[in-house]
Structure 1
Amino acid sequence: MKEILFQQAFKKAKQQSGKTSKNGVSSHLENVFAMKLNFQTSKVTFSRYYEQFMEGKTGKIMNPSTGLLDKLAEYIGYNSYEDFVTQLDQKDTPTRVSFLKFARKSKWFIIITLLALVTVFIIIKLNKQRWMVWNLTHYEEVQFDLEKYELGQLKLYKEERIKNFKKIEVDCQTEYKTPEGTIKIWYGKNHKKELQYFTSLGLHPETGNSLKPLSKYMFEEHICIKESSNSNKN
């Protein structure tokens, strides 16, 4: 309130005196207050208030006396500083009341609107992402699909997954490790508890469980032994 009071007083002083400088306006107020309002305040004091309330300088903060506030209010047409504050509040009250009434009556409308805006923002952001989906034996890039996203089928696009992660069939001829001993095949079970084999480390596309490296034991126990057994039956 004090800031508004000083700003209005300095604005009126500029209009009355035709001066726009800090010193010119301050000198004018010094004379007006002494001659017409019978209140002594130096132009230096007005200059400091001008710097504080008009220029926004944050040096030494000055607190005006009640007497000065009353005379400033009188200068711009009010009975006192209290009268200035009361009338200013009354001017603002209808706007605040109208807004509060609207907010109360339209509470659900505002909430729904905000939720809609948030949803739109999220969808726009999701659409900017690149996505991929598992297609039986490999990942492929697709456009964003809200239904698939909600079902957990969409994954964030990873070029390495697209190029190197495949589901393959293995047999006794499969080279599951390099000559140096580095594993080339990983395995995991699907929802039916069936073993499946993949060309790269990662998560099983259906279950999300971590794949394991194919060991010599697993290779001989679950791949070659079955092939040998089938041959013996025949």
Structure 2
Amino acid sequence: MVKQLITDFFNEIEKKEIKKNKNSKASFWHLEFQENLNINYGDENHIGIRKATRLYEKYIEEKEKSVKDPNKFQRNYMSKYLGHEDYDDYIKKTTDISLETEKNPVFENAKTTIDRVTPIKWYKKDVNKLVVIASTVFMLVLSIYTYQNNYSIKGNCIIWKTDHFEKSSCLAKKAINNGKYAINIETFKRITVTDSTIFFKKNIPLVWYGKNIKGEGEYFTDRGVHPETLKRLNPITRPILNREKLLNE
């Protein structure tokens, strides 16, 4: 089933992203994880171009390659890209389609098959029923598709908006997996501090500190990571405040 998933995944990349060759497809997969999902080298869920290429060569080109199969997170992402809720949902629906195909095989010579079947006239009497059934099925499929695209793929991801995090689709550009950081987005905000800002309560830090990509210090209301660098924030300390000329003791 992993082979089928990888095959479907690369075929979908070619279809959606217009990526025609092996290298461009592998590069797309790598960039989706590193730039859009912020999963960098060293993370267990990271996909490098080399591994993506080896998976393509093993399962698409059927070459003898020693490469570890995608882990659960990676399989779930691939399944979501294909329009499924997760890998388990992909297996279920793919298996259902396979079983249905076995029950109703497609004949190579369709014309010969049709010629052997006696025409059925019953549909002329029940055309209204057929319209109702077809409409119901269409609405059901549309509802499932809408649910999957608007809710199922959201997962536990968040994205930075000016001075706070908001819930987001995991496929959105610059979204991060909050399952990894466990940030309380209800209380986590970036603030501007002044001499009147209360930094401690009974010697317990009330503010967290970190530097942005320009090396400038910024302040936040709760523990977490800096939204630009994804580095852990530090509880505020008096040496930091003295260095930033915000506390004179």
- Give the TM-score, by structure 2 length: 0.36
Larger RCO, structures 1/2 (Cα 8 Å, 6+ apart): 2
Q: Please, what TM-score do these two structures have when normalized by structure 1?
A: 0.38
Q: Report which of the two structures shows the higher radius of gyration computed on alpha carbons.
A: 1
